[in-house]
Amino acid sequence: MGGVMSVHPSLAAVLPARFTGASILVAAINETFSLRQTVETVERTCDPADLAEFLVLLHPTRTTPGCRAEAEALVGESAGKTPVRIVFQTLPFAGGAYRSGFQEARGSHAVMISADLETPPELVARMIAVAKEKPGCVVTASRWMKGGSFSGYNKVKQVCNAVFEKLMSALFLTRLDDLTFGYRLFPAALLRAVDWKELRHPFFLETSVAPLRLGMPFEQIPANWKPRPEGESQNSFFANFRYFKTALRVRFARRASLLRAAPAAAPDAPGARFTLREARAWTGAAAEGPLPPSFPGVYTDTREAPEGRLFAALRGETFDGHAFAADAVAAGAAGVLAAADADLPPGLPALRVPDTAAALRALAAGYRAKVSPFVLGVTGSAGKTTTKEIAAHLLGALGPAFRTPGNWNNDLGLPKSILAMPPDTRFAVLEAGTNHPGEIAPLAALMRPDAAIVTNVGPVHLGHFGTEAAIAREKGALPRAVPASGFVVLDAALPHFAELRDGVAARVVTVSSDPAAAPDADYVAENPGLADGSFDLRDRSDGSVRRLATGLPGRHQIADALLAVAAARRLGVSWDDLAARLRTVPRVAHRWAESDRGGAHWIDDAYNANPAAAESALEAFACVRPGARHVAVLGDMGELGGGAEALHRRVGRAAAARGADVLVAVGPLSRALADEAVRAGMSASDVHLAPDATAARDLLARLVQPGDCVLLKASRAVGLERALPPL
């Protein structure tokens, strides 16, 4: 039963030859017991071997807490049974929920149902029975055919629906009589092959008429409808008039235009990020020479292994990557992203573009759209890398999660980060950094965040910004880029909270690392244990309190973890997963890396520093190895402008106040730090100066004794990790 056309050849090539299991896509927004009853009924009435998984489709911000809690409970109870996974929609509205699920389905077939119990969940077993006999068809339910019924349906709406269904059946030359009813089973390959357009409720019509236009065979079975027992429908009657526009668009479209560009195509090579065709479409490049059909990535430094990637020849004030283009290809690069005016050897495989930096960003934008992960953007004056690492690790409980490698957070680093994402990435935690005004907004435009975290605002890069208020305005460009359907996590206890919140369209999720300053935040950290980064987390939504720990000392570790935990909770990570994963976050090089060397305990926190971060590190340092002699090695902090001396002195006072027994000040700016530490009470004999990291290493070799505890903290330019003795 269906249309009169044959199946489109591109689609026929990917349809399954047999049924091997169904992914059950269950959308829920405000259902609780109905969601549970739907899942349990399907599992009870179906052969377990026929069920690949349940995908519970939730909205990251609009799904009610009760519905989300029920979904999490089902996930926890699924051990030993059909797996239940939560999928947070990355597209808006009801159609967006199912389209997000289509890309996640692992079964040979997928069933599209709702959690509202308007149609009996027992119908799934009947659909699967048909699919096992006819795996290449769509199985759809009908309330109008013999055996189907409406119970308690508004009579006027029922008449209107009957007229509309007859018009649709005539328009598409089909005997199907309930094209708007969204209860269907599809071959999963069909769902991934069609270029779906609708997001709102006309999507349910599109899921019948687009396959009809493509010649898909249909089987129809009767269904009984009754009013939902809980929750409210997200569709309005007058919104149904949008269905006409959808019907006409699909009916008169070219059949090939209803399909994705390459519906059946597997990656051209293992690990392929993007194809040559995509690269040209995204950048407008002209192709030269023998280029491969796909690329596993992009790189910009010929000191890296090429691995068949595309070499992007960038230009700067003092360098031109085109000078290394031939060497890159000879070493194994698949081709060169080159400027149109660059002089390259004849026959060198290249993609010619007007501007290679702009083309690199265009590649990243295209690939970000292709992978379509949920993007969580992170920025802030301090703690953004730690917060990024924690958030990505926590989100790994829900699926493949990617994070910005290292500090690839600027106008060149962010495109490289995006292009490094594996194709199966579900969550991308991307960092945005700045040291000049006007840099965050273009990064946010490229990133297109679905959610954002701003860790804090502090006195960094004051030489370029002038004031902390200016820094807050700059950092605020990231949360302002989050759409209304997303969310932004901010610490309500911070001085610049109001400035960061200003102009944000998304839901603002508040945390408070200082209960006295912001006791009514959504998530409040109480009773901090500074020695192990533990804290009681109070969830305002239900009043519950849970004890969590980072395993790292310091108030700043708690603040970073709190922000990441709030984002993870909004996206559905369970409390049990949070507690377990928070203690196993991978450590980043030169960021509170502890080791024992020569009988002393060393803490390498030398990756970077600013005054606020240095003060936080000193507070944490005081909690490590109580009773040991504490040697604080503090270096210059850059880009502080005219306030550099005063800010270094502030850190000197903090070193004295936090109980450092010995201070080694490294670099010319840190002379003021050392001077202020003595003024604040440290003995001059315990304060030492070193001009650079190499001199500090020699000094520490004489100064540090077995049993000492040593902290290294400075700006990146100092390279203070060079002061570490060998293991």
Secondary structure of 281-303 as H, E, C letters: HHHCCEEECCCCCEECCEECCCC
What count of other Cβ atoms lies within 10 Å of the Cβ of residue 355? 14
Q: Give the Cα separation of 283 and 132 in Å (integer).
A: 45
Compute φ and ψ for 453, nearest 5 degrees.
Answer: -125, 135
Tokens of 438: 């006007």
Strand order through the sheet with 523-529? 401-403, 427-431, 374-379, 451-454, 487-491, 507-512, 523-529, 534-539, 545-549
pLDDT at position 670: 96
Q: Give pLDDT, residue 152.
A: 83
CA angle, residues 466, 467, 472, in degrees to nearest 5:
120
- pLDDT for 464 equals 67
The residue ranges of the chain whose pLDDT is under 50 are 3, 262-270
The continuous run of DSSP H or E covering 396 comes out as none
pTM over 0.75: no
Rounded (10°) angle between helices 644-657 and 670-679: 40
Look at residue 262 in the predicted model and tell me its pLDDT.
Answer: 41
Residues in Cβ contact with 237 at an 8 Å cutoff, skipping those fewer than 6 apart: 157
Q: What's the CA gap between 284 and 359, in Å, rounded?
A: 8
Tokens 């490094």 label which residue? 420
pLDDT in tens, 574-627: 999 999 999 888 877 788 889 999 999 999 999 888 898 899 899 999 999 999
Of 637, 704, 641, 701, the closest CA to residue 671 belongs to: 637
Amino acid at 136: G
| Total Cβ atoms within 10 A of residue 287 | 15
pLDDT of res. 61:
75
C-alpha span between 726 and 196 (Å, rounded): 58
> Tell me, what's the pLDDT at 361?
94
pLDDT tens, position by position, 69-85: 898 889 878 877 888 88
Which of 67, 417, 380, 446 lies closest to 273 in space, CA to CA? 417
